[in-house]
Amino acid sequence: MTMATTPGRAPRRFRISKRALPYVLSLPALLVCIGILIPFFTAVFYSLQRYRLSQPWARKMNWGENYLNFFSDPSFWNTLKVSLLYAGLTVVLELLLGLAIALLLQKRSTINNFVSIMLLMPLMTAPALAALMWKLMTNPGFGILSYFLTLVGIDDFRWGASSSSALFTVILVDIWVYTPFMMILLLAGLRSLPKQPFEAAALDGVPRIQQFWRITLPMLTPYILTATLFRLLESIQQFDIIYAMTQGGPGDTLTVFQVEAYLNFFQSTNVGRSAALLMILWAITFFISNIFIKNWLRLRERARGEA
């Protein structure tokens, strides 16, 4: 306790008291964060204002009006619907697909390790660039995927350009990028499960399908929960893929929260509405992230205890 106050051992020149040390060490990081908190509170303030960049003279506080307007605003309900649909579908599909692939690759072998390394590549591709790649592949003129569809007799599938298939197209890109994330987490989870219950079940002649439902799945649940919540947090905020693919179009088909807020800010220059939209998104993510962090810390403690 008194190391810093008893002189003599270490050179005297410049000493920070032991009490202050942790604060001094973390101060720079904290300052950067305060720099981030300021715009956050500004956004809260904007969301309570009538504020259009095109009409600066009409700027004034209107308190909850931006939020109240949402109730009678069909485009807000569309944003909410598309965001939830996008997040729900991507997370569920990625979970199922990721779990299936993790089960396929569970046994350690050269080929399985090779495949799991290969699957890192889509995950390491920038989502915005991944969307461009798929845009090139789904181009009606020369896109290879459009060509494959004509082979099976579908001539006029317009992918991201048609409002009936735009959601499908961006979800496909999302699945391509993020399924490997689910797979990696679940594979790590699968491989860390204790072996004894499975050996015992095999001895008792429990069929493999039963083993999966009764042993694997319950033991894997904490990992599934962590991975799902994490993906849900990111997916409800998806911007890169949707913006790079269709800019939220056609029409308002894909105006999820962040895309709608971006367009509100830069196209209709309605800062107030944009900020209010983001505040609602923030409330949703705050709610999910609290559950996530609690769940994740528990998993982390457990992994550490076993390691």
Partner 1 sequence: MEYTSPLEKTLRAIALTLVVIFFMFPILWIFLMSFQTNETILRVPPSVVFEPTLTNYQALITGKLETSAASLEINFMRNLFNSVFLSVASVAVAMLLGVPAAYAFARHKFRGSEDIAFTLLSFRFAPPLLVLLPLALYFQQIGLADTYIGLIWVYQLICLPLILWIVRGYFEDISPDIEYAYRIAGHSWFATFRKIALPLAGPGIAAAGLLAFIFAWNNFIFALVLASADKQPVTVGALAFITASGIQYGQIAAGIVLSIAPTLALALYAQKYLVEGLSLGAVKG
Nearer to partner 1, 169 or 274 (CB): 274
Residue 61 makes contact with partner 1 by CB under 8 A = no
User: Which letter does DSSP use for residue 161 in this model?
Assistant: G
Nearer to partner 1, 58 or 117 (CB): 117
Nearer to partner 1, 167 or 259 (CB): 259
Restricting to residues 147-176, which ones interact with partner 1 according to CB under 8 A?
147, 176
Beta bridge partners of 52: 270
The nearest distance, CB 166 to partner 1, in angstroms, is 17
Q: Amino acid identity, residue 284?
A: I
Peptide bond into 222 cis (omega under 30): no
Using an 8 Å Cβ cutoff, are 4 and 17 in contact?
A: yes
Tell me which H or E stretch contains 183: helix 166-192
The nearest distance, CB 262 to partner 1, in angstroms, is 6
Considering Cα of 204, then 206, then 212, then 215, what sign does the dihedral take? negative
Provide the terminal-to-terminal Cα distance of the chain, rounded to the nearest Å: 31
Restricting to residues 208-267, which ones interact with partner 1 according to CB under 8 A?
223, 226, 230, 233, 237, 239-240, 243-244, 257-258, 261-262, 265
**Most distant pair of Cα atoms in the chain: their distance:** 86
Of 33, 85, 96, 217, which one interacts with partner 1 (CB under 8 A)? 33
Distance from C-alpha of 284 to C-alpha of 174, rounded to nearest angstrom:
20
Nearer to partner 1, 61 or 293 (CB): 293
Torsion-angle region of 248 (φ positive above 0: left; ψ -120 to 50: alpha; else: beta): left
Residue 1 makes contact with partner 1 by CB under 8 A = no
Distance from C-alpha of 307 to C-alpha of 139, rounded to nearest angstrom:
49
Of 30, 85, 96, 154, which one interacts with partner 1 (CB under 8 A)? 30
The nearest distance, CB 109 to partner 1, in angstroms, is 11
Nearer to partner 1, 96 or 100 (CB): 100
Restricting to residues 104-133, which ones interact with partner 1 according to CB under 8 A?
104-105, 111, 115, 117-130, 132-133
